[in-house]
Amino acid sequence: MSLILFLTGVPDVLIRTFFIVRIVDNVTLNLDQMLKAKEDSVKGLTKGIEFLFKQNKVDYIKGSGSFITPNKIKVSLLEGGETEIEAKNVVIATGSEVAPFPGGAIEIDEKQIVSSTGALELNQVPGKMVVIGGGIIGLEMGSVWSRLGAEVTVVEFLGNIGGAGIDDEIA
């Protein structure tokens, strides 16, 4: 706050000289670069977790797991082939899936009709976008594409937006 108040009284040339502020005109979107920055962040965070696995002596098997018995898991390995692991205790932490449309009426093809995963990978800014579900993720995705120029409409069946736990007075 004090920095802003301070700077408002200073001539632009001094701000540029002493604070190394470069004022850029004609800012344009480079969506490919933006998506690459996102990919780099995801890769960096994932590698960080792999490093923590190693440090803490956690075995990491890359593949898709399924139960054969309550104590035995079959893993179809990403690199090909299979392996089996046996354990007395198993934690299932497979995350969540986007709720399908009733009766499978509309397919989420991740191109025109996308989940939040697909919404992070659109290769161009849509002219118009409808977000079904005005919870945290829907509003986050909508606000990203809206700021990039899409005309966004949110559809929500509850009387307020923001999802469970949001303050009613601001929703």
Ligand X SMILES: Cc1cc2nc3c(=O)[nH]c(=O)nc-3n(C[C@H](O)[C@H](O)[C@H](O)COP(=O)(O)OP(=O)(O)OC[C@H]3O[C@@H](n4cnc5c(N)ncnc54)[C@H](O)[C@@H]3O)c2cc1C
Residues found near ligand X in the complex (CB under 6 A)? 64-65, 93-95, 116, 137
Cα 23 from Cα 95, distance rounded (Å): 43
Shortest approach of ligand X to residue 66 CB, angstroms?
6
Of the pair 117, 153, the CB lying nearest ligand X is at: 117
Taking the least distance from each CB to ligand X, the nearer of 69 and 94 is 94
Find the distance separating the first CA and the last CA of the chain, reported in whole Å: 28
Residue nearest to ligand X (CB): 95
**Closer CB to ligand X, 65 or 162, in the complex:** 65
Q: Are 84 and 72 in contact (CB under 8 A)?
A: yes
Sequence-ordered list of residues with C-beta below 8 angstroms from that of 133, at least 6 positions apart, any chain: 154, 155, 156
What is the closest distance, in whole angstroms, from the C-beta atom of residue 7 to ligand X in the complex? Answer: 31
Q: With respect to ligand X, which residue has the nearer C-beta, 20 or 91? A: 91
Residue placing its CB nearer to ligand X in the complex, 10 or 34: 34
Q: Is the dihedral of CA 143, 145, 147, 151 positive or negative?
A: negative
Phi and psi at 128, nearest 5°, equal: -130, 145
Shortest distance (Å) from residue 116 CB to ligand X: 4
Least distance to ligand X from the beta carbon of 138, Å? 9
In whole angstroms, the minimum distance from the beta carbon of 145 to ligand X comes to 12
CA dist list (Å): 65 to 25, 61, 72, 158: 52, 9, 10, 37
